[in-house]
A and B are shown apart, each in its own frame.
Chain A
Amino acid sequence: DIQMTQSPSSLSASVGDTITISCRASQNIMYSLNWYQYKPGRAPKVLIHAASLLQTGVPSRFSGTGSGTDFSLTISNLQPEDFGSYYCQQTYNMFPSFGGGTKVE
């Protein structure tokens, strides 16, 4: 199985901040990395797919970079609606797996 490790597990931020969340894969996954936003009681939302492609309708303050084993999600000019949890997901093989999540408070 491919293990996905996110850091930090939580972070404190303010409106207007720029934050970066990291995700590391236990093996090379090329560009097969997605980022999701998760809020309790809401449908999770895909933000970035294939490491850096912004999903349609997602604000441009979200950006993703990386390849191989190291990836990051950056949120610029943090907005009130951006507070919540973020998960990375690898889709390199037949068993997609998620990172442990990062809670942005």
Chain B
Amino acid sequence: QVLLQESGPGLVKPSETLSLTCTVSRTTMNTEDYFWAWVRQHPERGLEWVGVTSNSGTVYYNQSLRSRLTLSVDPSKNQFFLRLRSVTAADTAVYHCARALACQGTCLAEVFDIWGQGTHVTVSS
């Protein structure tokens, strides 16, 4: 069974950079069939798609985060990464990584079929 596990600091100071890692187990990331995604859930709010990276490093970002966000991937380590700069309290959330089945045509992904359990990140001084 494919597993995804997020890791990173639980507390980040305002204006600093949040860095998270997702480690993928029991499958290879070297496939064109999937994107590797980040989704966050704000307290008392719904889910927000953050962005995705392919195994080759092609990225697509939520436009509201584009100016502060960098996603990257290291398939040799079966890991992908999130860096979010200049964080504020509004970035406090549970961050999930997920595998997204790539779709054909004008869409990005058909479905996010495997998720990590999430890591809680608080932005506070």
A positions within 8 Å CB-CB of B: 1, 32, 34, 36, 38, 40-46, 49-50, 55, 87, 89, 91-101
Cβ-closest 7 pairs across A and B: A98-B47, A49-B111, A100-B46, A43-B115, A101-B46, A44-B115, A43-B117
Cα separation A100 to B113 with both chains bound (whole Å): 19
B-side interface size class:
20 to 34
Contact A34 B49 (CB under 8 A): no
Prevailing SS type, chain B contact patch: strand
Interface pair B45/A91, CB less than 8 Å apart: no
8 Å CB contacts to A: which residues of B77-103? 94, 96, 98, 100, 103
Contact A34 B107, beta carbon cutoff 8 Å: no
| CB pair B117 A34 closer than 8 Å | no
- With A43-B116, A43-B117, A44-B96 known as contacts, the answer to whether A32 contacts B47 (CB < 8 A) is no
Question: What are the residues of chain A within 8 A of B109 when measuring CB–CB?
Answer: 91, 96
CB-based contact A50/B118 at 8 Å: no
B48: CB under 8 A from chain A?
yes
Chain A residues contacting B47 (CB-CB under 8 Å) are 36, 38, 44, 87, 89, 98, 101
